[in-house]
Chains A and B, each alone.
Chain A
Amino acid sequence: MALQDRNRVVILGDRVENISGAEFPLSFDGKESSHGLQRLAETLDIKIVHLTPTEIEFDLIGVDASIANALRRILLAEIPTMAIETVYMINNTGVVQDEILAHRLGLVPIMADPEDFHWRRPLDPPTDQNTVVFKLDVECHKNPNAARDETDPSKLYINSSVYTSQLVWDPKGDQETRFADKPVKPIHGDILITKLRPGQVLCCELHCAKGVGKDHAKFSPVATASYRLLPDIQITSDITGDDAELFRDCFPPGVVEIVNEGGVRKAKVVNARKDTVSREVLRHKEFSDKVRLTRVRDHFIFNVESTGAIPPEVLVSRALDVLIEKCDISKAALADAIGSTASEE
């Protein structure tokens, strides 16, 4: 295969070809190409495209899919965050059951950096170093100033809807000084927790702990993290005239443009990145031998959206730290395993 083609995953109408590359040492006779770390040093590149306080879009080029996937899996499941773990229900006379309320409260994202806190073992007592305490104390009353024929419950009653803004942080120990400039609170104050009617009370104490997404999805720091491979649309023979217009309409706007070359209207791929690879073009017989839909195997377009507790660029950095930590732990464990078998003999 041509050198460039080795790097492409081919997308056909009914299947995908050339999925796993053969980029291993000695797999191509006579070719002494670099591999492993040396090759990574040559081909690795990162391009950050867009950065907002909650989202980052960047390109990771030159790594193998296994490492890009490891990064994605760690972003989803192995970076710790703080979330409500224990709910001490003092009084709940609303219609929503205790356990349903507790489940909903657990899913509320909390603005706290998990690196400021320690892990809490199941039997450890809660301390100011491993737990954050919130109090939720709401009672619903009738609104004496409501109009006689009012039907909107938010005007008829006071506190009929309980929102996350009503969660009150109760700083313990040295938390008040530690978080003086970044108070711990729910990230969004407008998440509806439950609804009450006059006479109903909700009073509970909430304890937040550190956890990872592997344990419960509420601890996942990302709204989602995903990657896609860069599409590469290859036009093998010219597409001209009205066919070119049809060709352009098979792709999302901006991918293909019509250029005028020597009086002939030709279709040209200008921005393959915008393509969503819907394979619409493969449904038309006239283009079946003129176009080749491929993806570049080692060009990953990452999109990481954070829930807000941790900035997205910090998340990517921490994901790499976690992968490095896994290697360290495994190395130490391997040394232990070898040492113990050597002493047994």
Chain B
Amino acid sequence: MDVDQEKPSYIALLEVPEDKIEIVPGASADLTSMTFSIKEEDHTLGNALRWCIMQNPQVDFCGYSIPHPSEAKTHIRIQTTESTNAIDTMNKGLDDLKAACHMVRSKFHQRLTEGKYTRSEQ
């Protein structure tokens, strides 16, 4: 190792595991059906991501599961129509979830600055 690269620093965790997302063997040949295994995640991301992916009309099926509660792993299975594939859908779901969070965040800050709420020092 020549130079120690600047590792990105995260808000909520120290390090991201090496193989954070794995594609579970058994995906369909045309990549429309796939199961993604995400390490170190639970219902927090799993359920929210599942909802975002389900809002996509090209998705036939989307569900998430936690194979065993002692293992920090979440499986997300996506089955799409022929017009798209599971990887693009996963990417779109993540983008949409990010966009939704940004919307909520900016709305929250807007309301905070508007100041139309009761306050007390206690």
A residues engaging B (CB < 8 A)?
24-26, 35-37, 39-41, 44-53, 58, 60, 63-64, 66-67, 69-70, 73-74, 78-80, 115, 118-119, 121, 212, 313, 316-318, 320-334, 336-338, 341
Contacts and interface: CB of A to CB of B under 8 A. Distances in A.
Contacts of A325: 10-12
Nearest to A321: B11
A329 B117 CA distance: 35
A316 B49 CA distance: 19
A341 B21 CA distance: 12
Contacts, number: 164
Interface string B64-107: 00000000000000000000000100110011111111111101
A37 B104 CA distance: 11
B101 A36 contact: no
User: Which of A50, A79, A337 is the most central at the interface, judged by chain B CB atoms within 10 Å of its CB?
Assistant: A337
9 contacts: A25-B56, A48-B117, A63-B104, A318-B11, A325-B10, A326-B45, A331-B91, A334-B87, A337-B21
A121 B49 CA distance: 30
B104 A320 contact: yes
Nearest to A63: B104
Given A333-B20, A334-B94, A317 B105 contact: yes
Contact of B48 (A44, A45, A212, A323): A323
A28 B102 CA distance: 29
Contacts of A35: 55, 57
B5 interface: no
A52 B120 contact: yes
Closest 7 interchain pairs by CB? A36-B55, A333-B20, A66-B47, A25-B57, A333-B21, A48-B117, A70-B48
B88 to A, nearest CB: 10
Contact of A328 (B21, B50, B96, B98): B98
Contacts of B48: 66-67, 69-70, 323
Contacts of A74: 12, 44
A212 B112 contact: no
A31 to B, nearest CB: 13
Given A36-B56, A337-B23, A320 B101 contact: yes
Nearest to A74: B44
A320 B108 contact: yes
Contact of A78 (B12, B51, B94): B12
Tell me which of A58, A313, A324, A341 has the highest count of chain B C-beta atoms within 10 A of its own C-beta: A324
A69 B44 CA distance: 7
